[in-house]
Structure 1
Amino acid sequence: MILELKGIYKEYQQGKMKVPVLKNVDFSMEEGEYVAIMGPSGSGKTTLMNIIGCLDKQTEGTFFLDGVDIKACSENEMSDIRLNKIGFVFQSFHLLPKQSALANVEMPLNYARVPKKERRERALKALDRVGLADRVDFKPNQLSGGQMQRVAIARAIVNNPKLLLADEPTGA
């Protein structure tokens, strides 16, 4: 099992009030499985994605990602998990505007301290996989919305993550 959530609760403090967002969520996923989290606005989809992506922690319940109890992890351990086990494709892409497509895809490999030559080879391969081998030197403002999304996908897959999270994946 790549991820397992049991009895997940999440609440936020708003002034003196506690606002519940997730209540008793159970969810599991096997490696290789594709899952869509759907629901109306305000139903907690983003909160759940933030917990699964180790960007936030649940208030109650257990969450195991690839056998690791996430609630027991330090911030540094969660950073390592995000870097090495999770790929993110954000709705707004979060590309660096002054960097080329290649540099944007290389970024997580740089954080992972992958040597420059290997970093370039892996980034070029990821861009080729998403059909952008001919756009490696283009900056985000020189790309269409769909091409920017594909650069974001290449960046998300370049580290071969165990889990790929996409927020609004059909947006572009």
Structure 2
Amino acid sequence: MRKVRAVSLGANFVGDAAPIAITTETPDHFDLPARFAVARVVYGSTHAAGAEETSLWTDLADRAAEIGSFTPLVIGESNRRYWSKPNLVENARAQRYDYLIKVQMYPSEGSADVTLFHTGSAGVMATVQVASPGRGQRGFWGGRIKNPARLDRATLKIAKSTIPMVEDMLNGALLRQR
């Protein structure tokens, strides 16, 4: 994205944002600047990123400041029902986000699926599938990676391939703006 002067969007508090209207149809355009929630899902649950990966996502948010604000989605309790698509979108809508970017990472395959949802309709506005170079990583017995440091290294590799594709998706949103 080209660097443009920062647009002041005001405070990023839930109470300051306008309520999100529930609609039945997904719009074919984007209303920007907007509030974006980012949900990073690994092994079917939301996970916080490691320090290096967090700095990559922060750099992306800084470069994309002209189209809105980007914040991690806050999930209430650690319960499997919050991880599904409808509940993530409902949670983002309740927190008054306009759009939800769900980054579903698969460490064993070294890939990610990125979906951009419109929170008012829960409709999909854009998708991207990304595969990192090389192969994925598995745990000791071939299952999930349980060591947090090893999992952070695996997801960092995926994020390095995913972030440029998310940036392209956001550039496409900028072009499809009203």
How high is the TM-score relative to the length of structure 1? 0.31
Higher helix proportion (structure 1 or 2): 1
Which structure has the higher relative contact order (CA within 8 Å, separation 6+)? 2
